[in-house]
Structure 1
């Protein structure tokens, strides 16, 4: 796949891009909402004219025409709002969907990402922040419509009385600018609240996923305490943000009320003095009451923009994150006698590791330190940037960093210890990999000892599996994961502790089945074939290690000894203590 660098994206650029992507609907929505607000502003003017030209004169014809005009005005007002809001909301929902897809695409990018965010935080960004970022469309449309309403109101007021109109024209912007002084505080507290909520969501996700393990260790109380502390912190931050939002709205409402009282008082004084007519007085008072609505709308837009800016920053952080790994451009190479090789590799706890896995070999790796095992697995799955480790990791004599992602996946499959199952059926979980062959299902099921799971249920392979395989035991999930890997049948298969949750008898059958499925007579065992598969099992299980052609021991981050399991168990006390139980 071609290397695609993420665009340099900031919150401001993301919001501008959001508006550009919906210019048609946004423009139509703004036009209709502005027409609605202009019609709203025209209502006090129309009532004033009706009072002067129809009610005060008693002209029934003028009254009938005025009522018809008022009906038409309210018709325009209603439909303009309905269709303007529809266009705006459609744009918001479409943008929310697009942003969620982009965040999900970045989270699922096989090259990884350098955001430093956990899965729960990514979920919060994809769900809440993406939706909130799209609200910039609503904020823009409402703000422009509010400005249109204030413009119409100011023009009418200037026509009635210049000083009065200037008072509204100058007073409203001054009021809005004064209210915006609180916006940075709202933005900061909103950002803190969103970050805290994301952290708590991530912690909750980790807690739920690892609940069984925590109970087994008796650590559920400590985990619950950590979540409780994080939740309480999130609550406190949320209350501060909500309080600030309430203060902002209260100040906005109070200031607009005072402004309304000032305008109405000035207009009343002018009407008493005969400077304006009774109809104009009604228009001025009506407009003064109406002006409070767009002022509040502008205040709402300011508060909304503060929340939008904070969310846009979080979304932009994900979309602009550099990929963790930049894959090469070389396609899958031809098979070689050495299928997998590590030469002078140093990474994390590993130091100058040399390891070769030849075609047709089943290699056992015993790591005294779990960190060594995890570092090795990360390297073999190609998830480590080339700049982060020293040495060479190669597949069929080609460095992993030079291969495309598709080429690496075609050659190497790393089946992790924590087997991930999906909601569906046993069949759909066994054939989840693109390379899965349905014809190989029976042999893989037998080799991984899954046949008893299939036979246990009347539906067989069509038996439903709940999310994350919660309806299955840990041993059943492990065996299904192994069967899935055997169905895929990759040239290089890497397994991490595939039998820790099964009983000894099943483990023995599983070990023999694995050997037969990957390196039995049907796979050309004993024949010098460069295209023969290779298997690496990272484990301390003596049952599995007995089936290995040789065992490589990692101690202190280095390869300290290599040999057959039987010989090492007899001659190496440290190895014997680590694997015999």
Structure 2
């Protein structure tokens, strides 16, 4: 269901209506009490001080003290209700965005990771400002109306000046709100782009250092940061000018009312107590009028953030819901598939086969891995992709993910322990299954290298481990999952040749040759299907068959030894 920025703000008010209702009533009561303070002082001057009535002075002073008690309590508890509502709404918006981003079906959006992070944090907080803006507006209007009524009772022209001047000022200032909204939207988009670039740079810091691209990357980030700074200063300038003008106009109105009251007092039209009341109300009136004048700016910021939230919350799912069919079997088939650089690809992998795929062009390997990952919607490729005879797009999504697992060559690790990372895809794995996967992926030494063993702490994205260690732990995680069909894309690019041979034999033994996960029955053959997209001769040497891709289609197939002997292009691409 489409929401839009305005709908998000409206929904915020509706689902927090209880807290906001109580909070609004209390802060409005606070403003009424604030309005009564200068009125009470004027009454005390006229009825007690001017007459010399001590008893009346004592009574009115007690009433004034009670008034201060009411306004203090009303503000304290009213503000508490409003702040709780605002913080709860900000949290709920963050959870909604996170849930939408983490939807297994994905989300169709052009926003990058850093931009999504900005939307789910700062934009969620700003959109929740509407829970504070609305009560403030109600309280300020209450104070303005109360002051105008009091002034009308004292002198009609003074009251009319406030009643007429206030909406005129607010109407004129409201003309600047669309400009502030546009500039706030541009600013938040620029900051989000800078955040996205910073996220990319931090995650790719090691490769950047490896190729010596730090200076170029720093230059790009500096440019993006300057753009964000410029947009922020541009917005700040507009907001500051708006606030300055609104406060100045409000102050001029208040000063004008007080000046006319002094003139009326000299002419005898109002008493000294009434003059004190008018002057007090004029001074008090500056604050609520300033709040009313400044609220359009804050509302513009909240609206801009709500519009950015809507970009995520309104985004269509990347993948279709599917027909809910289950995938039975481990046969994989691609028929006439065209996607990115792939051009009418036909490929069939039989159940239990250990298949190697060598792509002469890296983009063909990337396209095949992306397509098999199940993250590509069916409207973005031509042809048919089936697992066990069922179209992947028709399958139940959770079942498809369990059946077909694609481990990219740059798989991420999560903060936690080695054990929590290895068992992330299958928390119920036994100790023997975990050990078998660690052995097959040559990740045992990662565990043995630390006194904590499997409980060794892993930093976010596995930054506390070397590139080879991260790759082996990610591979162990994939092996523990025991998916009927598993695709590994260059799983050994960060390890040495000896370790690569160990991993090749481990994968073949674990998934194809013997039931390594069941030591009591070593003769049982696993019928899991494995596809190795790689140019590693060590990995290709353990495969049953190798398919060669060139120009997006199958250019040859055979065993590794046959192709190495008969195909010069294959030898050039693989043997090293």
Which TM-score band (shorter chain)? over 0.9
Aligned to 1:568: 563
User: What is the 5 A alignment of 1:365-376?
Assistant: 365-376=357-368
User: What is the 5 A alignment of 1:242-321?
Assistant: 242-321=236-315
Partner of residue 444 from structure 1, selected from 430, 437, 443: 437
Structure 1 segments (4+ residues) deviating >6 Å: 523-529
TM-fit CA distance, 1:436: 5.3
- CA distance in structure 1 between the partners assigned to 2:269 and 2:289 by the alignment: 27
Partner of residue 352 from structure 1, selected from 330, 344, 349: 344
Partner of residue 217 from structure 1, selected from 201, 204, 211: 211
Do the aligned partners of 2:373 and 2:406 also contact (CA within 8 Å) in 1?
yes
TM-fit CA distance, 1:202: 0.1
- CA distance in structure 2 between the partners assigned to 1:9 and 1:446 by the alignment: 51
Partner of residue 341 from structure 1, selected from 333, 336, 349: 333
Aligned to 1:486: 479
TM-fit CA distance, 1:434: 3.1
Do the aligned partners of 1:37 and 1:145 also contact (CA within 8 Å) in 2?
yes
Aligned to 1:76: 70
Please give the per-residue CA displacement for 1:40-62, whole angstroms capped at 9, x wherever unaligned. 11111100000001111111110
Give the TM-score taking structure 2 as reference length.
Answer: 0.97
Do the aligned partners of 2:514 and 2:524 also contact (CA within 8 Å) in 1?
no
User: What is the 5 A alignment of 1:64-213?
Assistant: 64-213=58-207
Do the aligned partners of 1:92 and 1:134 also contact (CA within 8 Å) in 2?
yes
Unaligned runs of 5+ in 1: 1-6
Do the aligned partners of 1:436 and 1:487 also contact (CA within 8 Å) in 2?
no
Do the aligned partners of 1:364 and 1:536 also contact (CA within 8 Å) in 2?
yes
1:237 aligns to 2:231 (yes or no): yes
TM-fit CA distance, 1:521: 2.6
Do the aligned partners of 1:421 and 1:429 also contact (CA within 8 Å) in 2?
yes
- CA distance in structure 1 between the partners assigned to 2:550 and 2:427 by the alignment: 35
TM-fit CA distance, 1:187: 1.2
Do the aligned partners of 1:136 and 1:305 also contact (CA within 8 Å) in 2?
yes
- CA distance in structure 2 between the partners assigned to 1:537 and 1:452 by the alignment: 23
TM-fit CA distance, 1:333: 3.1
- Per the alignment, in what secondary structure is the counterpart of residue 354 of structure 1? strand
- CA distance in structure 2 between the partners assigned to 1:247 and 1:203 by the alignment: 31
Aligned to 2:8: 14
Aligned to 1:550: 545
TM-fit CA distance, 1:66: 0.5
- CA distance in structure 2 between the partners assigned to 1:381 and 1:78 by the alignment: 61
Do the aligned partners of 1:332 and 1:410 also contact (CA within 8 Å) in 2?
no
- Per the alignment, in what secondary structure is the counterpart of residue 522 of structure 1? coil
Aligned to 2:320: 326
TM-fit CA distance, 1:453: 1.5
Do the aligned partners of 2:20 and 2:131 also contact (CA within 8 Å) in 1?
yes
Do the aligned partners of 1:508 and 1:543 also contact (CA within 8 Å) in 2?
yes
Aligned to 2:455: 462
1:534 aligns to 2:534 (yes or no): no
Aligned to 1:522: 515
Do the aligned partners of 1:359 and 1:534 also contact (CA within 8 Å) in 2?
yes
- CA distance in structure 1 between the partners assigned to 2:380 and 2:494 by the alignment: 33
User: What is the 5 A alignment of 1:382-401?
Assistant: 382-401=374-393
- CA distance in structure 1 between the partners assigned to 2:361 and 2:3 by the alignment: 41
- CA distance in structure 1 between the partners assigned to 2:436 and 2:7 by the alignment: 54
Please give the per-residue CA displacement for 1:348-405, whole angstroms capped at 9, x wherever unaligned. 1111111111111111111122221121112111111111111111111000010111
CA RMSD of aligned residues (A): 1.6
Unaligned runs of 5+ in 2: none
- Per the alignment, in what secondary structure is the counterpart of residue 365 of structure 1? strand
Pair 1:565–1:435, CA change in 2 (3 A): farther
